[in-house]
Amino acid sequence: MIKNDLYLRALKGEIVERPPVWMMRQAGRYLPEFIELRNQYDFFTRCQTPELAAEITVQPIRRFPLDAAILFSDILVVPQAMGIDFKMKESVGPWLDNPIRTKEQVDAIEVPDVDDTLGYVFDAIELTLQKLDNEIPLIGFAGSPWTILCYCVEGKGSKAFDIAKSFCFTNPEAAHSLLQKITDTTIAYLKRKVEKGVSAVQIFDSWGGMLSPADYQEFSWQYINQIVEELSLVSPVVVFGKGCWFALEEMSKSKASALGVDWTITPEIARQLTKNNITLQGNFDPARLHSSPDVIRKMVHEMIDRFGKDKYIANLGHGILPNIPVENAEAFIRAVVEWKA
């Protein structure tokens, strides 16, 4: 039994004494101990070495009174497992020498055996669970099929993902084939994570907001929903679509346990769109962690009051930025833990 199950109770919509708190990218580059490891090992070495991934996952747990841990990994391990050879380039980010731009390339991609290709992630889960010792739940995650496609077709990060969008609109058959292959791989991957012991899974649709509402339904949501349908049979599922407030009403009708929201929507509108039928997670602007600890505390308490303490998970509206002072991250977390109605 997990000793602190506040996060899991919030996912079920139960009455809680306070909202649980964790931060997207909490195991990451704002922590001095993370930077120490980063200076010794390259990015994918850290992801692919179970001992390093487990250590990085628990680093913030040692420092802060968090209510959940999230496994250190990356969304690009899924396309890597599918034979799409992503690298992490210094000061560039994700990089693919040969982006997927043709039907022939898509046809050549296979849905892999996740045990063969992603075993290092499952080993990292086992090591992390030993370190956590049933204190708090562990979250597993994956990128949405659309977000993965964006990187596969663009070949790198982008502000608008124009090439990826053009590919979908000019080669819809190939695009849907690629999206389905990513979806099938992701379902197998997340199911295995649950079997290995994660308590919940989160789907990150980082680039869903690049699409119009109609295109979002066609190229993103229908594939996310396939994952939700399958995974909800074995685990709570959280869906976070950055910039996807327009889809909240539709998402709230799914079998997801919670929906993440970014800072571009008010708590009141997010509740209105979802008819208060589902747990919401978010939505503190990560850049606001540059404010003083006193201002952060005040804003966090106001955020909780506006969302309401139940059916709510306190979090950022996206991942924590690398240049945030550790004491400001701590102020955010402690503000939630110390909140009183």
pLDDT digits (tens, 9 = 90+) for 294-311: 999 999 999 999 999 999
The answer on whether 29 is annotated among ligand-binding residues is: yes
For domain 6-337, give the fold: TIM Barrel (3.20.20)
What average pLDDT does the segment 254-278 reach? 98
The answer on whether 206 is annotated among ligand-binding residues is: yes
What average pLDDT does the segment 103-111 reach? 98
What average pLDDT does the segment 61-89 reach? 98
Rounded Cα gap, residues 329 and 324, in angstroms? 7
The answer on whether 301 is annotated among ligand-binding residues is: no
Q: What is the chain's alpha carbon radius of gyration, rounded to the nearest angstrom?
A: 19
Q: Which two tokens stand for residue 47?
A: 């992801």
Beta bridge partners of 241: 205
Whole-model pTM: value is 0.98
pLDDT at 91: 85
Strand pairing class (93-95; 87-89): antiparallel
Is 74 annotated in the active site?
yes
The answer on whether 306 is annotated among ligand-binding residues is: no
Is 29 annotated in the active site?
yes
- The ranges assigned to domains in the chain are 6-337
Catalytic residue (choose from 7, 30, 151, 216) = 151
Is 271 annotated in the active site?
no
Rounded Cα gap, residues 92 and 87, in angstroms? 10
Rounded Cα gap, residues 201 and 141, in angstroms? 5
pLDDT at 224: 99
Q: At what angle do helices 145-154 and 162-170 cross, to 10 degrees?
A: 100
Tell me the pLDDT tens digit for each residue of 172-200.
999 999 999 999 999 999 999 999 999 99
Catalytic residue (choose from 38, 63, 306, 334) = 38
The answer on whether 318 is annotated among ligand-binding residues is: yes
The answer on whether 167 is annotated among ligand-binding residues is: no
The answer on whether 27 is annotated among ligand-binding residues is: yes
Say if CB 250 and CB 219 are below 8 A apart: no
Alpha carbon distances (Å) from 68 to 140, 201, 291: 11, 12, 24
What average pLDDT does the segment 233-237 reach? 98
The answer on whether 26 is annotated among ligand-binding residues is: yes
pLDDT at 96: 97
Rounded Cα gap, residues 30 and 25, in angstroms? 9
The answer on whether 64 is annotated among ligand-binding residues is: no
Q: Say if residue 84 is exposed, middle or buried (CB neighbours under 10 Å; 0-12, 13-18, 19+).
A: buried
Catalytic residue (choose from 67, 74, 205, 262) = 74
What average pLDDT does the segment 250-271 reach? 98
Instruction: Indicate whether 341 pLDDT > 90.
Output: no
Is 189 annotated in the active site?
no
Kindly report the average pLDDT of the chain as a whole number. 98
Instruction: Indicate whether 252 pLDDT > 90.
Output: yes
Catalytic residue (choose from 29, 63, 306, 334) = 29
Higher pLDDT, 131 or 91: 131
What is the H or E stretch that residue 237 is in?
A: strand 237-241
Tell me the pLDDT tens digit for each residue of 35-59.
999 999 999 999 999 999 999 999 9
Is 115 annotated in the active site?
no
